[in-house]
């Protein structure tokens, strides 16, 4: 039987023959070892990415990137040693919540617990973080921006992701032990009646529609060129701010020595109850913070502005003080 070049390899691997009826691989093995069937080491084809699902690097050894290959050589697994140390500080046989036994046992943090807040803390390279937030990100994924993790089991040192639910700060406070007492009760803000603007020009003898300043376009151009008109400079942000403040507000019953409140009469956030003010275009700030900075300068970093009168629309600088978040939350217990 004559075997021509290009026919299938006689060893049945389906590749075309190049010489003696052998494919290129068997021919090269025969030239090196003297036997076309000599056993040779088979190399696995590398994938495009590391075998670890959370790693997007290119594989270097055994289908893994260099970092995961080193971890596998040293520890026998590819997980982060900091993550293993984190989970080693958790007791998964904690107590079962009495009010929610369906949640199962809590995963209690056995590491450092802050004495004031009661939350577990864990140190990372970028600083110290709350342990229950780290556990949620490890098991579930990133926490949505602006949301807090509410403990459904009412145990702050619990790290079980099934016991954590991302909610807004307001919902988190309302679900607490004193949520009904701390919850914000929106006060009724008086609505100013809208002024009736004229639709026709106010210049005598003119009945054209209004364009600017209750004047039609031709009359407005004449007004701009009139040298006898006294044009005042535009008001400053401070002047605009105090023009919207009523300084004859009620006096706090629990602190009458503070004097009357200065109530903000313009835009109020319906969700928080704080006044809103725009010092410049496309900028909005809370009115009590703006008033505090006008009287006392910049707010210290990490501090909030606390209302001594417990009235959120008040912008009287004598009723405002700088306090930490913990101090501000503690003062809310005596509100209303």
Sign of the dihedral defined by the CA atoms of residues 297, 303, 304, 310, in that order: negative
Q: Which domain holds residue 32?
A: 1-40
Q: Are residues 260 and 316 in the same domain?
A: yes
Q: How far is CA 143 from CA 134, 138, 148, 182, in A?
A: 10, 10, 8, 25
What pLDDT sits at residue 232?
82
- Of 79, 231, 24, 323, the C-alpha closest to 332 is 323
Q: How far apart are the first and last CA of the chain?
A: 105
Our measurement of the distance from residue 303's CA atom to the centroid of its chain's CA atoms, rounded to an integer in Å, reads: 19
Our measurement of the distance from residue 188's CA atom to the centroid of its chain's CA atoms, rounded to an integer in Å, reads: 31
Q: Which ranges constitute the DSSP H helices of the chain?
A: 24-33, 66-75, 81-87, 131-139, 169-174, 179-182, 217-225, 237-242, 287-296, 325-331
Q: Are residues 36 and 47 in the same domain?
A: no
Q: Are residues 173 and 241 in the same domain?
A: no
Q: Name the burial class of residue 262, with classes exposed (0-12), middle (13-18) and buried (19+) by CB atoms within 10 angstroms of its CB.
A: buried
Sign of the dihedral defined by the CA atoms of residues 198, 200, 205, 206, in that order: positive
Q: Are residues 253 and 310 in the same domain?
A: yes
Q: How far is CA 125 from CA 57, 67, 122, 129, in A?
A: 22, 18, 10, 10
What pLDDT sits at residue 220?
92
What pLDDT sits at residue 336?
46
Q: What is the pLDDT along the chain (336 residues), one digit of tens a residue?
A: 566 787 888 888 888 888 888 888 888 888 888 888 888 877 655 667 787 777 778 888 878 888 888 888 887 777 777 888 888 899 999 999 988 889 999 999 999 999 888 899 998 777 888 999 999 998 888 999 889 999 999 899 999 999 999 998 878 877 776 554 445 555 666 677 788 888 999 999 999 999 988 999 999 999 889 888 888 888 999 999 999 999 999 998 888 999 999 999 998 887 788 999 999 888 899 999 999 999 999 999 889 999 998 889 999 999 999 998 888 877 776 554
Q: Are residues 178 and 196 in the same domain?
A: no
Q: Are residues 66 and 12 in the same domain?
A: no
SS3 42: coil
Q: Are residues 253 and 304 in the same domain?
A: yes
Q: How far is CA 263 from CA 94, 96, 148, 314, in A?
A: 50, 49, 31, 5
Q: Are residues 259 and 320 in the same domain?
A: yes
CA distance 142 to 131: 14
Partners of residue 245 on adjacent β-strands: 264
What pLDDT sits at residue 188?
65
- Of 283, 291, 284, 282, the C-alpha closest to 312 is 291
8 A C-beta contact, residue 211 and residue 217: yes
The whole-model pTM stands at 0.45
Number of domains in the chain: 5
Which CATH number fits the domain that encloses residue 255? Answer: 3.90.75
- Of 228, 225, 209, the C-alpha closest to 217 is 209
- What one-character DSSP code corresponds to residue 29? H
Q: Are residues 313 and 289 in the same domain?
A: yes
């Amino acid at each position: 039987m004559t075997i021509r070049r290009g026919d299938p390899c006689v060893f049945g691997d389906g590749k075309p023959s190049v010489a003696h009826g052998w494919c290129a691989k068997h021919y090269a093995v025969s030239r090196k070892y003297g036997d076309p069937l000599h056993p040779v080491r088979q190399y696995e084809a590398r994938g495009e990415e590391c075998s670890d699902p959370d790693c997007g690097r290119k594989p270097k050894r055994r289908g893994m990137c260099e970092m995961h290959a080193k971890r596998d050589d040293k520890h026998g697994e590819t997980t982060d040693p900091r993550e293993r140390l984190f989970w080693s500080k958790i007791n998964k046989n904690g107590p079962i919540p009495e009010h929610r036994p369906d949640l199962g046992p809590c995963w209690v943090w056995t590491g450092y617990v802050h004495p004031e807040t009661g939350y577990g803390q864990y140190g990372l390279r970028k600083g110290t973080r709350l342990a229950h937030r780290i556990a949620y990100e490890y098991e579930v994924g990133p926490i949505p921006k602006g949301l807090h993790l509410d403990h459904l089991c009412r145990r702050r040192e619990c790290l079980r992701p099934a016991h954590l639910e991302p909610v807004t700060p307001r919902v988190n406070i309302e679900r607490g032990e004193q949520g009904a007492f701390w919850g914000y009760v929106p006060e009724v803000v008086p609505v100013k009646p809208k002024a009736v603007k004229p639709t026709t020009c106010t210049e005598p003898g003119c009945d054209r529609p209004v364009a600017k300043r209750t004047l039609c376009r031709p009359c407005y151009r004449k007004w701009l060129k009139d040298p006898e008109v006294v044009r005042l400079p535009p008001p400053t942000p401070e002047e605009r701010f105090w023009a919207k403040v009523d300084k004859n507000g009620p006096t706090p019953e629990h602190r009458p020595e503070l004097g009357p409140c200065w109530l903000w009469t313009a835009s109020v956030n319906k969700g928080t109850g704080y006044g809103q003010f725009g010092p410049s275009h496309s900028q909005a700030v809370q009115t009590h913070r703006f008033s505090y900075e006008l009287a006392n300068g910049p707010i210290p970093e990490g501090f909030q502005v606390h209302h001594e009168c417990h009235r959120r629309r008040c912008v009287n600088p004598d009723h405002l003080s700088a306090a930490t978040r913990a101090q501000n939350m503690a003062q809310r217990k005596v509100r209303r």
